[in-house]
Structure 1
């Protein structure tokens, strides 16, 4: 029998923290924490947090009384970060058989400027410790229910003696590591390499495209270059 995700029993307690610390990239981990984004007035770069919501699974924003999203009145923001390129591809394009990549899509390598504590939902038993299910981040649940959990975690701060800044979880499409970061605008930056070059590239850049194709194939998808995509203005 598969349990369904019940509403959180407030206040939440007993959570376990995971610390996101920056480690310099290696040849095996060149793109360890990254974000794929499509530039727009609301998303000018890879570290712009979204204050409009709730829209996605782990958004902590306060909706209007009918549940509709809005710019959060108390300034709650979210930034979703993938633990590797395959996870990022899966989260952005995983609902489709192919990743339709236009020239505007970009990928930014991100790092915390200070160690960040987040609620661990990946470890064995860590979800149960707050009364949730491991499938909170992966199950096919109505978004209002998972967002209700995100708000409860944001508000109740269930980890003793730690201020948590989001959730460490398994991404729904790839099962890879991912972060939903809350109100971390001053604690995240785009990485520069040793020469001072910003590590933010078009997915179609020759240095990135082979990695994109390999990641998509590894997920059972394909990656298609297209002149325009549904996100283009």
Structure 2
């Protein structure tokens, strides 16, 4: 996967701007494009902080909220760099391809097929860890009960109780038993979908504003003799 984020500026500048920019020394064109790239990075970080996408809408709610999700996006945003800037283009992206792959999944969303075998293989070392919130919810929905004083038929435990008193392995075993008793066939595979959270890039209107503002700054710097 290409670790770069392409920002298209063609058609977003007036003819006068294009002629003036083309007449600039390569050094100044590089400066302008690099600053536009840095502005794109700054706005990408802001979107992560405010949890809003490119259209200004809040990120869609996820079916399974994982701890540290926002921190992961913040970490990704901090890794954004202007990785190349010359006289014709600036490239914003990641030096690490692994970061680029994760960012692409967050940006565009993705659907992944998970198998029971892969979960068992990857989760072998975690069988003695506390039961997860998803397991606790599934156990309650499957009718799991515990014996309580003054309760002959048992009582549904709270999610907190399950997470504090059962391990991942125990909860998984109980859940399989309850589903088998109910005549349900165990799933061997299923899909998990991660909704898109577009935090990278900029809209055409934003790019146009960046160019206008930064172009004026550079013209002022030229007038002051800053080259």
Q: TM-score band, normalised by the shorter chain?
A: under 0.3
Task: Provide the TM-score with structure 1 as the length reference.
Answer: 0.22
Task: Provide the TM-score with structure 2 as the length reference.
Answer: 0.22
Whose radius of gyration is greater, 1 or 2? 2
The structure carrying a bigger helix percent of its residues is 2
The structure carrying a bigger strand percent of its residues is 1
